Amino acid sequence: MTIELLKGDITTIPVDVIVNAANSSLLGGGGVDGAIHRKGGKAILEECIQIRNRQGGCATGEAVYTTAGNLPARYVIHTVGPVWNGGSNNESLLLESCYLNSLRIANELTLKSIAFPNISTGIYHYPKQQAAEIAIHAVQTFGEEESSLEQVFFVCFDDENYQIYQKILSK
Ligand code: ADP
């Protein structure tokens, strides 16, 4: 399994699955969530509503998947990152769970490629350096086990995240 770093808009990446930094309502929001629903079209929201009706949304750290609608990806995994609240409210374990649960779903779907945004580092204000260390560590740990995944992309939208990831991954 290889880990690759990209800069740009995750909605344009032709991978098997892109990950959405959703909120627990699954009804869409701002940031990357807004971009995914806007460009993917209403099929994504319709499946999110079905999941919501079935299980009442998605808890922090958990993940669910839907179609990717009009996006170049095949699926969207919606995971709910923790809101940063000082760091002593289980934020790091919850953020790690977002990455691990997303990777597990991709493996269950026997997918080969997945792209992650920098979960929780926007509206949820998780410190970017710490979030990047958790994200990379989770993916590397998962990569030590056998899975269907061959390529994992980190897609950084902002320069600061891109530089942080570049620095950690070049070590
Ligand atoms: P959260 O609520 O989890 O913080 P946000 O969407 O506000 O979610 O931010 C998460 C990350 O997604 C931020 O680093 C932000 O820069 C990034 N982001 C925003 N739009 C896009 C996009 N179109 N593609 C990839 N990343 C994006």
Query: Which stretch of DSSP H or E encloses residue 76?
Result: strand 75-80
Q: For residue 115, count CB atoms less than 10 angstroms from its CB and return exposed for 0-12, middle for 13-18, buried for 19 or more.
A: buried
> Model ipTM?
0.99
Beta strands 63-67; 75-80: pairing state? antiparallel
| 8 Å CB contact between 116 and 135 | yes
Indicate yes or no: pTM above 0.90: yes
Atom of ligand 1 nearest to the CA of 31: 6
Q: What is the pLDDT of residues 137-153, one digit of tens each?
A: 999 999 999 999 999 99
Q: Each residue of 48-64: pLDDT tens digit? A: 999 999 999 999 999 99
CATH of range 2-169; options 3.30.70.640, 3.40.50.300, 3.40.220.10, 3.30.465.10: 3.40.220.10
Amino acid occupying residue 69: G
Task: Please state the rounded mean pLDDT for residues 19-42.
Answer: 98
Q: Which two tokens stand for residue 161?
A: 């995240």
Say if CB 168 and CB 136 are below 8 A apart. Answer: yes
CA distance 27 to 69: 15
Ligand 1 centroid – CA 115 distance (Å) = 13
Which residues line ligand 1 at a C-beta cut-off of 6 Å?
9-11, 21, 31-33, 35, 81, 117-124, 155, 157-158, 161
Residue nearest to atom 5 of ligand 1 (CA): 122
The domain locations on the chain are 2-169
**Residue 137 confidence (pLDDT):** 98
Question: Contact, 80 vs 23, CB < 8 A?
Answer: yes
Q: What is the mean pLDDT of residues 157-162?
A: 98
User: Does residue 165 contact residue 5 with C-beta atoms inside 8 Å?
Assistant: yes
Instruction: Render pLDDT for 64-85 as a digit per residue (tens, 0 to 9).
Output: 999 999 999 999 999 999 999 9
CA gap 155, 102 in Å, rounded: 15
pLDDT band at 30 (very low <50, low <70, confident <90, very high): very high
**DSSP state, residue 106:** H
Output the pLDDT for position 78.
Answer: 98
Residue 36: the pLDDT is 98
